[in-house]
Amino acid sequence: MFRRWSKIQTKFPELWKHYLYQSFFATIIVFIILMVLSLQNAVVIASIGASAFIVFTMPKNITALPRRVIGGHMVGMLCGSVCALIPHTSTLTTALVLSLAVGISIFLMVTFDFEHPPAAGTALGTAITGFSPDVIIALLTSVIILSLAHHFSKRFLRDLV
């Protein structure tokens, strides 16, 4: 713990403006997304929050690339939607179906080079709620806004982690 604290003490004075700027920028972008979406899409919104963390604190990381953010969430939504169609009446089968949605989405993200960890949350959330046109619109809107914000601001963003 003390080593971690010393790392914070050495890194923070150097990058404190970026810490503030990037956190504030993430807040503004998530605010815009929330104004566009409704809270009925809470499952999607939760995974978008995790995506915002990656995009704005690790912008140079490969998982922050727009292709991976968009592709990963689309894979997650597809896997979750398909798995939601599998009948599950007991706790055991529900757990199996939900874990299958996550596992298959991970497999496909890695296979197609769309690795984006929060997208596994999209798979889980979509498997819980099922597919609806509102979900795909909310998800596409969110990932496009995040990706555009990343693209147009990447020269100002620094890796903070």
Q: What pLDDT digit, counting tens, does each position of 85-115 carry?
A: 999 999 999 999 999 999 999 999 999 999 9
Q: How many domains does the chain have?
A: 1
60 in a structural domain? yes
Dist. CA 157–CA 155, nearest whole Å? 6
Q: What is the pLDDT of residue 2?
A: 59
Distances (CA, A) of 85 to 58, 59, 136: 35, 35, 16
Share of the chain above pLDDT 90, in %: 71
36 in a structural domain? yes
Q: What is the pLDDT of residue 159?
A: 92
Q: What is the pLDDT of residue 124?
A: 95
Q: What is the pLDDT of residue 149?
A: 97
Q: What is the pLDDT of residue 5?
A: 58
Share of the chain above pLDDT 70, in %: 93
96 in a structural domain? yes
161 in a structural domain? no
Check: pTM over 0.85? Answer yes or no: yes
39 DSSP 8-state letter: G
